[in-house]
Structure 1
Amino acid sequence: MKRNFSSKRNAIYNTILSTTTHPSARWIYEQLKPDYPDLSLGTVYRNISLFKNEGKVSVVCNVNGEERIDGNTSPHTHFVCNCCGRVIDVADDGSKSSESLALLNKGFTIDSKLVIYYGKCSDCCNN
């Protein structure tokens, strides 16, 4: 279904696409509030939900009770820092893991794969 983008919806979507920080709804709201004084946090959540349903964004994980959003919907791996909460894209060579190959050899089909590593980022390890 083709949907018209309002200026707020467009701003929310562009904010998600313009960052690799994997933002929360609150972060998006705080970035846009100065330019859209009548923007509500509820509007941000509703639009993120719409984008998720349309496959335009994905939820990577939940950090401190907040979903973290990714505008890059191509398959890739993430690292989540347990200390500072950063979510970082991890380079992935796209090769199939031994687990994936084992499933494929048993006749399974794989529609998607989600890999998330948890630990301490290099900044937190050095502090």
Structure 2
Amino acid sequence: MSAERLHHAVEKLKHNGIRMTPQRRAILSYLMETITHPTADEIFKEIEPEYPNMSVATVYNNLKLFKEVGLVRELTYGDVSSRFDGNMSDHYHCICTICGRIVDFDRPPIARLEQEAQQSTGFLISSHRLEFYGTCDLCEKAEH
């Protein structure tokens, strides 16, 4: 994890009048370090041993706060639990249809496609989401 990214996130929270608690820092730090796109429950299970008095509600409340401030992205896929991404750069995802694993697919955003959609529909396009679905390497190996 880049200490600079964490520092920037902490400063953004301070700028928004949000104080930094040890639990909040632990949740934020975990999200900045991981590339696994965890659920709130997974985050709770990872950091709970360090903070045994913390509740899962604390994790949910902080994730909501981080999302509102623009520090994390919530990834929703139908009925499956939301997953959270601490990487706010424009990037795409590959999602395993068997285990639900999500992997970043870092490519430049397709800005031209947004412009075409805007011209074609008259919408003022603010963003887009592109996802690729298939079987991850781990599930593929398990099947053979």
- Please say whether Structure 1 and Structure 2 have the same fold, judged by a TM-score greater than 0.5: yes
Deviation of 1:125 after TM superposition, in Å, equals 2.3
Alignment deviations for residues 26-83 of structure 1 (CA, whole Å, 9 cap, x no partner) = 1110111111010100100000011111111011224763110000112111011011
Greater percentage in helix: 2
Deviation of 1:108 after TM superposition, in Å, equals 4.1
SS at match of 1:43: helix
Task: Sort the Cα spacing of 1:57 and 1:45 in 2 relative to 1 into closer, same or farther, 3 A.
Answer: same
- Name the structure, 1 or 2, with higher relative contact order (CA <8 Å, separation 6+): 1
Residue 6 of structure 1 corresponds to: 21
Task: Sort the Cα spacing of 1:63 and 1:87 in 2 relative to 1 into closer, same or farther, 3 A.
Answer: farther
Residue 119 of structure 2 corresponds to: 105
Unmatched tracts of structure 2, length 5 or more: 1-15
Please tell me whether the aligned partners of residues 94 and 102 of structure 2 are also in contact (alpha carbons under 8 angstroms). yes
Deviation of 1:100 after TM superposition, in Å, equals 2.4
Please tell me whether the aligned partners of residues 92 and 130 of structure 2 are also in contact (alpha carbons under 8 angstroms). yes
Find the partner of 1:114 among 129, 132, 136: 129
Matched letter for residue 129 of structure 2: L
Deviation of 1:94 after TM superposition, in Å, equals 2.7
SS at match of 2:35: coil
1:41 aligns with 2:56: yes
SS at match of 1:83: coil
Residue 85 of structure 1 corresponds to: 100
1:76 aligns with 2:88: no
- TM value normalised by structure 1: 0.88
Unmatched tracts of structure 1, length 5 or more: none
Matched letter for residue 114 of structure 2: S
Matched letter for residue 33 of structure 1: E
SS at match of 1:89: strand
Moved over 6 A (4+): none
| Aligned Cα root-mean-square deviation (Å) | 1.9
- TM value normalised by structure 2: 0.78
Residue correspondences, number? 126
